[in-house]
Structure 1
Amino acid sequence: MEAVLDELYTTPPSAFVARREELAAAAKAAGRVEDARRVHAARRPTLAAWAANLLLRSQPEESQRFLELGRALREAYDSLDSSGIKELSAQRRRVVFALSQQAGQLAEEAGHRLSDTVQQDVESTLRAVLADPDAADRWATGRLEGALTPSSEFPSGPAPAARTPRKPSRQAAPPPSARTRTKEDELAERRRQRQERLDQARRAAEEAAQRLRDTRAEQTDADTELQRARDRHAQAQQQVSAAEQQLQQAREDLQRADHERQDAEERSHAAADARTRAEQEARQAAQEVKRLTARSR
Structure 2
Amino acid sequence: MRSKGGRTGKGHDVENLLDELYTTPPPGFVSRREELAALTKAAGQVEDARRIRAARRPTLAAWAANLLLRSRPQECQRFLELGGALREAYQTLDASGIKELSEQRRHIVSALSRQAGRLAAEGGHQLSDTAQQGVEATLRAVLADEDAADQWATGRLEAALAPPSDFPSPTDAPTAPPAAPPRAAPRTRTRDELAERRRLRREQLAQARTSADIADRHLHGRHAEQTDAEAVLAQARDRHDRARQQVSTAEQRLRLAREQLHLAAQEQKTAEKRTREAALAAERAERTVREAAQEVKRLSGPVK
Q: TM-score normalized by structure 1?
A: 0.90
One-letter amino acid of the structure 1 residue matched with residue 234 of structure 2 = Q
1:236 to 235, 243, 246: 243
2:149 to 136, 149, 154: 136
One-letter amino acid of the structure 1 residue matched with residue 86 of structure 2 = L
2:268 to 235, 255, 261: 261
Cα distance in structure 1, aligned partners of 2:61 and 2:172: 32
Over aligned residue pairs, what C-alpha RMSD do you find? 2.4
Residue aligned with 1:142, SS: coil
**Which is further off, 282-291 or 218-227?**
218-227
Q: Quick check: 1:76 aligned with 2:93?
A: no
- Residue of structure 1 equivalent to 2:210: 203
Cα distance in structure 2, aligned partners of 1:295 and 1:231: 97
1:31 to 40, 44, 52: 44
In the alignment, is the contact (CA less than 8 A) between 1:86 and 1:156 conserved in 2?
no
TM-superposed CA distance for 1:284, in Å, is: 1.2
- Residue of structure 1 equivalent to 2:283: 276
- Residue of structure 1 equivalent to 2:10: none
1:91 to 99, 104, 118: 104
In the alignment, is the contact (CA less than 8 A) between 2:91 and 2:169 conserved in 1?
no
In the alignment, is the contact (CA less than 8 A) between 2:92 and 2:170 conserved in 1?
no
One-letter amino acid of the structure 1 residue matched with residue 246 of structure 2 = Q
One-letter amino acid of the structure 2 residue matched with residue 77 of structure 1 = Y
Unaligned runs of 5+ in 2: 1-13
Q: Which has the higher helix share?
A: 1
Residue aligned with 1:184, SS: helix
Q: What pairs up with 1:212-231 in 2 under 5 angstroms?
A: 212-231=219-238
Cα distance in structure 2, aligned partners of 1:93 and 1:128: 12
Residue aligned with 1:295, SS: coil
Cα distance in structure 2, aligned partners of 1:253 and 1:193: 88
Cα distance in structure 1, aligned partners of 2:54 and 2:170: 44
- Residue of structure 1 equivalent to 2:3: none
TM-superposed CA distance for 1:212, in Å, is: 1.1
- Residue of structure 2 equivalent to 1:293: 300
Cα distance in structure 2, aligned partners of 1:180 and 1:98: 48
One-letter amino acid of the structure 2 residue matched with residue 241 of structure 1 = S
- Residue of structure 1 equivalent to 2:5: none
Residue aligned with 2:162, SS: coil
One-letter amino acid of the structure 1 residue matched with residue 71 of structure 2 = S
Residue aligned with 2:302, SS: helix
Unaligned runs of 5+ in 1: 174-178
Q: TM-score normalized by structure 2?
A: 0.88
- Residue of structure 2 equivalent to 1:176: none
- RCO comparison, higher one (Cα < 8 Å, 6+): 1
